[in-house]
């Protein structure tokens, strides 16, 4: 059974976000607040969660809208104090057009910022004995700039570094921070990939791994381990070697 009573998840209409909502609903969470841009998919996920007896409150929301996101988070907290917040909403860039690049950073970076900042302020005001955990969903693509998805990998590198820094700065306030760097997980993002996806994993399996490690307040949750090893090695190689490797990766078509 989960130790968290009220869980908030952005980007919960599909992929990891949806799988996390269903996981926590089936593991005793009392209340789950979810948001996404597709209302019909959100309602489907909410129905699944309610089948386990969990209270679920879906909201159609674009996390790049900072005032709306802050208002929603504050409303959720007022209904019942939040224990666990997942900054999960994210998009793939696909074609690196100026519009798509800006959208990638607006959602993958500013969407995380718009979720985390109001959460921090709420957690600072909450009782010290209350469980307080923030989880930022990054990606193994954030370990090194990827020529196959430069904007996406850059956005994930940004939130990875921010989360790792926040973990130490917020620790003294009793606020836990975890950064999740999954590999290829079944989602609307990977559904658009045409390149090879080694160590591919189903979203429900990924959610179980994430939840178990969040329960133990693990700082960096990167998996599957062969993929984590590969990207870590790529990140520490001299540029002449990493360039040689990365420029030979298959591109999306």
Domain ranges of the chain: 6-246
DSSP state letter for 201: B
pLDDT greater than 90 at residue 146 = no
Topology given in CATH for the domain delimited by 6-246: Rossmann fold (3.40.50)
**pLDDT band for position 253 (50/70/90)?**
very low
- For range 80-86, the mean pLDDT: 97
- For range 170-188, the mean pLDDT: 90
Which of 5-14, 99-108, 169-178, 232-241 is least confident? 232-241
DSSP state letter for 247: T
- What are the residue numbers of the active site? 152
Distance separating alpha carbons of residues 10 and 31, to the nearest angstrom: 14
Distance separating alpha carbons of residues 76 and 143, to the nearest angstrom: 33
Closest CA to 18 of 137, 109, 196: 137
Residues β-bridged to residue 133:
84, 176
Element (H, E) at 226: helix 225-236
List b or e across 60-76, with b for residues whose CB sees 16 or more CB atoms inside 10 angstroms. Answer: ebebbeeeebbebbeeb
Length of the chain: 253
Distance separating alpha carbons of residues 43 and 18, to the nearest angstrom: 11
Which of 16-25, 194-203, 209-218 is least confident? 194-203
The tally of CA atoms less than 13 A away on the side-chain side of residue 149 is 25
Structure-token pair, residue 156:
């994930």
DSSP state letter for 202: -
DSSP state letter for 197: -
Q: Please state, rounded to an integer, the average pLDDT across all residues of the chain.
A: 91
Distance separating alpha carbons of residues 65 and 82, to the nearest angstrom: 21
At 63 the three-state DSSP class reads coil
Structure-token pair, residue 158:
């940004």
DSSP state letter for 250: P
Element (H, E) at 6: strand 6-9
The pTM assigned to this predicted structure is 0.90
Burial of residue 238 (CB within 10 Å: 0-12, 13-18, 19+) is exposed
**pLDDT of res. 229:** 82
Distance separating alpha carbons of residues 122 and 250, to the nearest angstrom: 44
At 34 the three-state DSSP class reads strand
Element (H, E) at 177: strand 176-182
**pLDDT of res. 90:** 94
Distance separating alpha carbons of residues 130 and 142, to the nearest angstrom: 31
């Amino acid at each position: 059974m989960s130790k968290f009573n009220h869980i908030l998840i952005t980007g919960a209409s599909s992929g990891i976000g949806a799988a996390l909502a269903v996981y926590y609903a089936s593991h005793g969470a009392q209340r789950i607040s979810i948001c996404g841009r597709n209302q019909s998919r959100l309602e489907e996920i909410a129905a699944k969660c309610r089948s386990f007896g969990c209270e679920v409150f879906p909201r159609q929301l674009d996390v790049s809208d900072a005032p709306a996101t802050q208002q929603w988070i504050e409303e959720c907290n007022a209904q019942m104090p939040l224990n666990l917040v997942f900054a999960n909403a994210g998009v793939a860039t696909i074609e690196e057009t100026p519009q798509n690049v800006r959208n990638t950073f607006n959602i993958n970076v500013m969407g995380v910022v718009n979720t985390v900042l109001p959460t921090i302020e709420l957690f600072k005001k909450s009782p010290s004995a209350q469980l307080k955990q923030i989880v930022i969903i990054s990606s193994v693509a954030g370990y090194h700039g990827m020529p196959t998805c430069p904007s996406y990998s850059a956005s994930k590198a940004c939130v990875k570094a921010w989360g790792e820094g926040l973990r130490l700065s917020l620790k003294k306030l009793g606020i836990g921070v975890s950064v999740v760097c999954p590999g290829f997980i079944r989602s609307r993002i990977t559904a658009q990939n045409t390149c090879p996806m080694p160590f591919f994993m189903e979203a429900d399996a990924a959610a179980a791994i994430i939840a178990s490690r969040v329960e133990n307040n693990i700082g960096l949750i990167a998996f599957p381990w062969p993929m984590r090893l590969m990207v870590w090695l790529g990140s520490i190689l001299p540029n002449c070697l990493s360039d040689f490797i990365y420029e030979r990766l298959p591109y999306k078509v």
